[in-house]
């Protein structure tokens, strides 16, 4: 895709000699939202960290390119990565506490980002900070500037973190479980906010979540990850209407939004095989009702958006 802002090609991550993420390819264009979904341990967060160049030992990238406007960040110098990170590519996490420093005011923390990446300070920065706090719909932005993180509610802290991420008008926003710690109403507000921001700025968003309900209303395309690989990658509307991989189907059926209030959450029987214990064929075969001998023996490649020998 020529208008791709971010393009990940053949990414492989390993812990020691054990592969954790394999043959991962993703593309996201300006103004688009890509969802990455999958159960815990599938490699979603490591993929995000790899894109940002923030992997830490023992995890390392063993192959693949991470192109940002065509420039490969995987081979970029650390100094170049620091220029891009938090500036052209920003990230928000599940727990704002990890990104916000408790001893500094919200205003001071956003000011630092503006100073570092845009050389902005003093009065000019203050105006910009108020603008961005208003953009994330924090009430009374001028007053929030002098508040400390603990003086905000969970939802407000998440808005403050989004404000920090947006301060430099990034081309790409990586959001790793940005609403998981929030209650359902606030969750919906934060997702609506991200969409608003995107509509006005054209920021490409990569939205990582284990909850399909989160991606169903917000994403243009969805990549479903299972045991370190993408098993289905299609336009969101098509994927939800006609899931082709049985893992996607199972995820949709077990989504909390599908479950009656108060009912036990259905889970997919069995477990995701751990890195190092993945079978030679399709990693989902052991949990799949349609698995054949071939599925257990040969790994299906991703073709026409699905990696399955017997797609629905």
Q: Judged by CB under 5 A, which stretch of 37-45, 111-119, 150-158, 226-234 contacts Mg ion?
A: 37-45
Q: Which residues contact 181 (CB under 8 A, 6 or more apart)?
A: 94, 95, 154, 158
User: How many whole angstroms separate alpha carbon 235 and alpha carbon 252?
Assistant: 15
Q: Judged by CB under 5 A, which stretch of 43-51, 73-81, 224-232, 239-247 contacts Mg ion?
A: 43-51
Nearest distance from C-beta of residue 46 to ligand ATP, angstroms: 3
Q: Which residues contact 108 (CB under 8 A, 6 or more apart)?
A: none
Q: Residue 15: which of Mg ion, ligand ATP, none does it interact with, CB under 5 to 8 A by kind? A: ligand ATP
Q: Judged by CB under 5 A, which stretch of 38-46, 79-87, 189-197, 245-253 contacts Mg ion?
A: 38-46
Q: Residue 40: which of ligand ATP, Mg ion, none does it interact with, CB under 5 to 8 A by kind? A: ligand ATP
Q: Residue 210: which of Mg ion, ligand ATP, none does it interact with, CB under 5 to 8 A by kind? A: ligand ATP
Q: Are 295 and 309 in contact (CB under 8 A)?
A: yes
Nearest distance from C-beta of residue 281 to Mg ion, angstroms: 26
Q: Are 154 and 110 in contact (CB under 8 A)?
A: no
Q: Residue 63: which of ligand ATP, Mg ion, none does it interact with, CB under 5 to 8 A by kind? A: none
Nearest distance from C-beta of residue 51 to ligand ATP, angstroms: 12
Nearer to ligand ATP, 101 or 271 (CB): 271
- Backbone angles phi and psi of 135, in degrees to 5: -60, -35
Nearer to Mg ion, 9 or 45 (CB): 45
Residues that bind ligand ATP (CB under 6 A): 15, 20, 38, 40-46, 58-59, 210, 274-275
Nearest distance from C-beta of residue 132 to ligand ATP, angstroms: 28
Cα–Cα distances (Å) from 296 to 131, 278, 287, 288, in that order, read 55, 11, 11, 10
What DSSP element (H or E) covers 4? strand 4-15
Whether a cis peptide bond, with omega within 30° of 0, leads into 196 is no
- Backbone angles phi and psi of 157, in degrees to 5: -60, -40
- HSE (CB half, 13 Å, CA atoms) of 29? 5
Rule CB under 5 A: is residue 45 a binding residue for Mg ion?
A: yes
Which single residue is written with the structure tokens 């928000």? 92
Q: Residue 20: which of ligand ATP, Mg ion, none does it interact with, CB under 5 to 8 A by kind? A: ligand ATP
Nearest distance from C-beta of residue 184 to ligand ATP, angstroms: 19
Site size with Mg ion, rule: CB under 5 A: 2
- Backbone angles phi and psi of 85, in degrees to 5: -70, 130
Q: How far is CA 274 from the centre of its chain?
A: 21
Q: Residue 70: which of Mg ion, ligand ATP, none does it interact with, CB under 5 to 8 A by kind? A: none
Nearer to ligand ATP, 50 or 120 (CB): 50
User: How many whole angstroms separate alpha carbon 161 and alpha carbon 6?
Assistant: 22
Residues that bind Mg ion (CB under 5 A): 44-45
């Amino acid at each position: 895709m020529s208008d791709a802002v971010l393009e990940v090609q053949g990414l492989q991550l390993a812990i020691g000699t054990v592969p954790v993420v394999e043959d991962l390819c993703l593309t996201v264009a300006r103004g688009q939202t890509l969802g990455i979904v999958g159960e815990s341990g599938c490699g979603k967060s490591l993929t995000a960290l790899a894109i940002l160049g923030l992997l830490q030992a023992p995890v390392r990238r063993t192959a693949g390119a991470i192109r940002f406007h065509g420039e490969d960040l995987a081979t970029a110098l650390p100094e170049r990565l620091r220029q891009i990170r938090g500036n052209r590519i920003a990230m928000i996490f599940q727990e704002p506490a990890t990104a916000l420093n408790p001893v500094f005011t919200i205003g001071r923390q956003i000011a630092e980002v503006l100073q570092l990446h845009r050389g902005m300070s003093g009065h000019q920065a203050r105006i910009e900070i108020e603008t961005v706090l208003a953009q994330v719909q924090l009430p009374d932005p001028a007053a929030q500037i002098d508040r400390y993180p603990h003086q905000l509610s969970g939802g407000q802290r998440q808005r403050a973190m989004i404000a920090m991420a947006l301060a430099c008008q990034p081309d790409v926003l990586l959001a790793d479980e940005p609403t998981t710690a929030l209650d359902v109403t606030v969750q919906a507000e934060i997702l609506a906010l991200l969409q608003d921001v995107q509509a006005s700025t054209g920021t490409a968003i990569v939205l990582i979540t284990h909850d399909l309900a989160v991606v169903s209303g917000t994403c243009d395309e969805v990549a479903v990850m299972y045991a370190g690989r993408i098993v289905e990658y299609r336009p969101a509307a098509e994927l939800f209407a006609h899931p082709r991989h049985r893992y996607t189907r199972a995820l949709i059926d077990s989504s909390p939004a599908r479950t009656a209030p108060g009912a036990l959450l259905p889970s997919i029987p069995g477990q995701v095989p751990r890195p190092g214990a993945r079978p030679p064929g399709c990693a989902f075969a052991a949990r799949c009702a349609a698995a054949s001998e071939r599925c257990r023996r040969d790994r299906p490649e991703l073709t026409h958006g699905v990696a399955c020998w017997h797609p629905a």
